[in-house]
Structures are given as C-alpha cells and as structure tokens.
Amino acid sequence: MIVSFIHRAVMQGIPLLFGSTGEILTEKSGNLNLGIPGIMYVGGISGVIGSFLYENSLADRSNPNVFLLIAIPLLCCLFGSLVMGLIYSFLTTTLRANQNVTGLALTTFGIGFGNFFGGSLITLVETDVPSITLSLTSHYFAKTLPFAHKLGWFGEIFLSYSFLAYFAILSAIVVSIVLKRTRVGLNLRAVGESPATADAAGINVSKNKYLATCIGSMIAGLGGLYYVMDYASGVWSNDAFGDRGWLAIALVIFTVWQPNIGILGSILFGGLYIVHNYMNNIIPMNMSTQELIKMAPYVVTVIVLIVISMRKKRETQPPASLGLAYFREDR
C-alpha cells in the first residue's frame, strides 16, 4: 500500500513540480507571475485542442502516426503557454504594468479560456462525440517504461511513470544547475535581485526577464498537459485541475526558490493532497476531516514563509526586486 501511495503521490506531484519549476525560473528574474494557474490551464487545453482536432481527423484510428500523436499536443501546449508568457512579459516588462494585477488577470483569462474550450469545443467543431476523451493520445502519453512492472516495488516507485514525469524532474535539475552554476543563471539572478546593478553591468534586463518568463511559462504549461494526458487519462473535465496552480506557487515558497528541493517537495505536496484516501484505511475519517487535511500544504507553506522572514538568511529570501517593474530612468 505504501508503494502505491508513493506512486500516486508522485503522479499528483508532477504537475506541481512543472508549475513550481517554471515559476521559480520566472521569479528569479524578478517577475512574480501570479498567472501560473491560468497558464497551466491554457497549457492543458491547448494540448487538448490540438490532439482533439488531430484524433478526430484520423480516418483509421487503429494505426495512428505515433510521432504526430505526441508532437501535436506537445507543440500546441508549448505554444499556448508561450503566448501567455509573452502577454505577461509584454505587459509587465515592456509596458511596466503592475505584476500582481497582470498575473491575476492572466489567471482569470486562462482558467476561463480552459473551461470555455473544454465546455464548447465539441459544439464549436460540430462533431457528435459525447465528451472530450483522448484515449489514443493519452495511451502514448501515459506509456511507462516496459520493464517497470517486472521489478516489483522498485519499479513501481521509480520507473513506472510516463516520459513527461521524467522530463519534469530533469527540467527541475537543469533549471537548478543553470541558476546556481552558470553565468546565464548568475545574470538572471542579478536581474531579479537588483535590475539597476545588472543593467549597469551590461546585462540586458528586458531580454532576461522575457526569456525567463516565457521559458518558465512553457515549463508550467507542460504541467497542465501532463495532468490531462497522463493523470486524467486524456479526459478533460472543467475545473478538474482545481487549485493545483496555486499549490505550485505555494511549492515555490516551500522550496525557498530551489527547483531541486522542489522534486521532493512536489511529492510531499502530492502526498498531502491524496493522503486522506489512504488514511481512511488506518483511521476511519469522515468527509469533513478530509477537507481539513487538504489544508495542510497551505498551512505548511505559510509556516515556511514566516520562518524564512524571521531568520532573514540571505540564501532563503525571495528575489529582492520580486514584483517590481524596472525603468532605467527611474534611478
């Protein structure tokens, strides 16, 4: 049972890991992108739209082109999230709009966009399918390593995930190495800590902010795609993604802006999200207590937030210029 619990916790954690890795990258450039929940919705629905149109256009469903089946949703998802990232960057970096307001508007827009197409796609393309079920695409997105089941518990805990899950972990490691160990990362962190200093040192502030926000959005968008295609087996239902986007932002704080800690953190948060299903077997619980347990990730995050602000350690602080627009002539 513990093995299956860990397995489910990882599955729950992967969307959060994508979201938080993307958000950490974004926040390191000084952009507090509260549009992440919206971006994850858009990433998910863009992939769904792409693969829905492709699956419906297939004449022979028994012999699909596997490459296209995977590439189309993937590219649609990346494109959709990229556009969201560009809207955010354009408004906050180029037009210097308020980041909180822009981010929240982006979330309203993104969740609306997801639910609108999720609810109206069938009407809009005028097909007669009863619901959006992308079984073909999902079959390939959820494919695990072939030998995973032969290895018992080891296989189930470490090997039984789809390629996007491993990509999530890989991207968290890569982002954390880039941020900590490379010149590119150093420049980016300089932009987030003190854009004026970075500017004086000849770093292109706008370019760094644009790049970090857009790449971050694309990573976060994949979280939405993973959720629909793998976790939900290709079935889109409105609002099913829930508050995972905000949980991803909570995870950013919980991991004190370090994507590599995020790998374990996401599994922990994923576990807290589903632990009530498993604790039922040990201590019987009613529905009301389960609701209280779902509160845990947020409470833990608040505690972390308070502790880091009390300890004032340099390494664990949010980027100093987080949430502030930069205008060269303001100095």
Partner 1 sequence: MKKTVEKGAHEQLVQISKRAALPGWKSWVIRVLAVLASLIVCAVIIVLFTGDNPFAIYVTMIKGAVGTSRRIWSLLQGVAMLLCVSLAVTPAFKMRFWNIGAEGQVLMGGLATASCMILFGNKLPSYVLLPLVIVASIAAAAIWALIPAVFKAIWNTNETLFTLMMNYIAIQIVSYFTYIWSVPKGSGKIGVINPDTQAGWLPIIGKYNYLLNILIVAALTVAIYIYLRYSKHGYEIAVVGESENTAKYIGINVRKVIIRTMLLSGALCGVAGLLLVSGTDHTITRDTAGGRGFTAIMVSWLAKFNPLYMILTSLLLVFMQKGATEISTVFGLNDSFSDIITGIIIFFIIGSEFFINYSVRFRSRKGAEAK
Question: Which segment (143-151, 219-227, 274-282, 317-325) binds partner 1 by CB under 8 A?
Answer: 317-325
When asked if residue 94 is in the footprint of partner 1 (CB under 8 A), the reply is yes
Q: At residue 67, what is the residue type?
A: F
When asked if residue 12 is in the footprint of partner 1 (CB under 8 A), the reply is no
Q: Which of 124, 177, 201, 320 binds partner 1 (CB under 8 A)?
A: 124
Closer of 194 and 317 to partner 1 (Cβ)? 317
Closer of 60 and 126 to partner 1 (Cβ)? 126
Question: Which segment (138-146, 150-158, 170-178, 299-307) binds partner 1 by CB under 8 A?
Answer: 299-307
Closer of 1 and 287 to partner 1 (Cβ)? 287
Residue written as tokens 């556009």? 83
Q: Which of residues 18-37 bind partner 1 (CB under 8 A)?
A: 32, 34
Q: At residue 49, what is the residue type?
A: I
Integer Rg of the chain from CA: 20
- Secondary structure of residue 235 in the 3-state scheme: strand
Token pair listed for 331: 């100095």
Query: Please, which residues have CB within 8 angstroms of residue 114's CB and are 6 or more apart in sequence?
Result: 38, 41, 42, 44, 45, 224, 238, 241
Distance CA 269, CA 301 (A): 10
Residue 25, strand partner residues? none
- Secondary structure of residue 262 in the 3-state scheme: helix
Q: Could you tell me which of 134, 129, 116, 107 has the C-alpha nearest to residue 248?
A: 107
- Secondary structure of residue 133 in the 3-state scheme: strand
Q: Which of 12, 29, 31, 102 binds partner 1 (CB under 8 A)?
A: 102
Closer of 225 and 249 to partner 1 (Cβ)? 249
Minimum CB separation of residue 160 from partner 1 in Å reads: 30
Q: Which of residues 250-269 bind partner 1 (CB under 8 A)?
A: 250, 253
Kind plus residue range of the DSSP H or E element containing 18? helix 2-28
Minimum CB separation of residue 50 from partner 1 in Å reads: 18
Question: Which segment (151-159, 218-226, 257-265, 296-304) binds partner 1 by CB under 8 A?
Answer: 296-304
Neighbours of 188 (CB within 10 A): 24
Kindly state the number of chain residues that form the binding site for partner 1, as judged by CB under 8 A.
62
Distance CA 96, CA 88 (A): 10
Closer of 155 and 323 to partner 1 (Cβ)? 323
Interface residue list for partner 1 (CB under 8 A):
32, 34, 87, 90-91, 93-98, 100-102, 104-120, 123-124, 206, 238, 243, 246, 249-250, 253, 286-289, 291-292, 294-295, 298-299, 301-302, 305-306, 309-310, 318, 322-323, 327, 329-330
